[in-house]
A = this chain, B = another copy of it.
Amino acid sequence: ISVSNPAECAALKEKFKVLWIDVAGLHETGVIEQFGALFGIDPLTLEDILHTGQRPKVEDFERYLFLSLQMLEFNRETGEISQEQLSVVLGSGWIITFQEKPGDMFDPVRHRIDSAGSKIRKHDADFLAYTLVDSVVDHYFSILEEIENRIDILDADLVATFSQESFNALNALKRELIMFRKAVWPLREIIGSVARDDFAVVGDLVEHYFRDVYDHVILVIDTVEVFREIVTSMHETWLAGVNNRMNEIMKFLTMIATIFMPLSFIAGVYGMNFKYMPELNLWWGYYAVLGLMAVIVLGFLKYYRSRRWY
């Protein structure tokens, strides 16, 4: 149900066993303050909700539990990860979520709520909170998959070209991983705290479910670390490849230069205009010099072959 006025929620609160209000967009500060008054939310919490770009955190206010997370979205075209703050206020029997923009990853959850007899319908608000947090964390995995794809593509690309472009793409990926880690890292502590500590509004069963989310968070963090190490090793491959390619270029230049310099020198010697150069008058002199040059070329080629330069 979409409502246009916070006051209506008060009525709804009475009516249903579990009430989920999803506020998308934080422009209308007034509306949010009305919610605050209605559900007895601390001003500090409201401030945390309004100031996005916060570090994820969990805070226990006896009457309710405040939880803020970063929802991440991978933009497949730019390859950038955008973040959006999700604030969850979980009371007993009600839950309010605040997002920066409409559009989210909760549609499957909504469907499950709509379908009669689903697990979510049977449980309390804390189970719904679990489902929402779980959706956010599960979405991290889909981003990790996107990143893995990009790594695979870049990996193939890198070996093929060693271009500055592929290096820059690699570096951009590295920064996305840095941002990702910054957003996910604090969750270790936060979800762990929800799973471990006794918060009034979180039942034992749901704590158990949160332990599962905790495992997922750890797996996400581990995977990010592994990706970072892989990106670092790709970086090293790139540098090694550039170094190697430089080696190849220099070898080629050296081979050509060292072969032709002596040849040109010999040609230069017999291009001198001295009056008395006996070789010039021999009828086989020209052919002898050509032969000498051929010997030099073969000698160098053999030398380079022996050093495995080609």
Residues of A near any B CB (own CB < 8 A): 44, 48, 54-55, 57, 59, 159, 161, 163-164, 167-168, 171, 174-175, 178-179, 182, 185, 208-209, 211-212, 215, 218-219, 222, 226, 229-230, 233, 235-247, 249-254, 256-258, 260-265, 267-277, 279-286, 289-290, 308
Contact B262 A267 (CB under 8 A): no
> Does A273 contact B275, Cβ atoms closer than 8 Å?
no
Residue A182 contacts which of B163, B222, B239, B283 (CB distance < 8 angstroms)? B222
Minimum CB–CB distance for A219 against chain B, Å: 5
Q: Is the CB of A164 within 8 A of B244?
A: yes
Residue of B whose beta carbon sits closest to that of A167: B240
CB distance from A134 to the nearest CB of B (A): 12
Known: A161-B308, A256-B261. 14 other contacts (CB 8 A): A44-B208, A44-B209, A164-B241, A168-B237, A179-B226, A253-B254, A260-B262, A260-B265, A261-B261, A270-B272, A274-B280, A274-B289, A275-B281, A276-B286
How distant is A263 from chain B, measured CB to nearest CB, in Å?
A: 5
Q: Are A268 and B264 neighbours in the complex by a CB distance under 8 Å?
A: yes
Q: Could you jot down 10 A-B contacts, CB within 8 Å?
A: A55-B215, A163-B244, A167-B240, A182-B226, A185-B222, A247-B249, A257-B257, A267-B271, A275-B280, A276-B284
Shortest Cβ distance from A41 into chain B, in angstroms?
A: 14
CA distance A77 to B256 in the complex (A): 40
Asked if B276 contacts A273 (CB within 8 A), the reply is no
Contact A242 B235 (CB under 8 A): no
Interface of A: prevailing SS: helix
> Measured between alpha carbons, how far is A3 from B207 in the docked complex, in Å?
38
Q: In the complex, which residue of chain B has the Cβ closest to the Cβ of A272?
A: B270
Question: Are A274 and B267 in contact (CB-based, < 8 A)?
Answer: no
A275 touches B271 (CB 8 A): no
Which chain B positions have C-beta within 8 A of A250? Answer: 246, 249-250, 253-254
Q: How far is the CA of A211 from the CA of B66 in the complex (A)?
A: 14
Distance in Å from the Cβ of A190 to the closest Cβ of chain B? 12
- A249–B260 contact, CB under 8 A? no
Among A44, A163, A218, A236, the most chain B Cβ lie within 10 Å of the Cβ of A236
Q: Are B240 and A164 in contact (CB under 8 A)?
A: yes
Assembled-state Cα–Cα distance A236/B243 (Å): 13
A268-B268, A274-B270 are contacts. A243–B253 as well, Cβ < 8 Å?
A: no
Minimal Cβ-Cβ distance residue in B for A141: B53
Residues of B near A281 (CB, < 8 A) are: 275
Q: Are B236 and A235 in contact (CB under 8 A)?
A: yes
- What separation, in Å, do the CA atoms of A27 and B309 have in the docked complex? 52
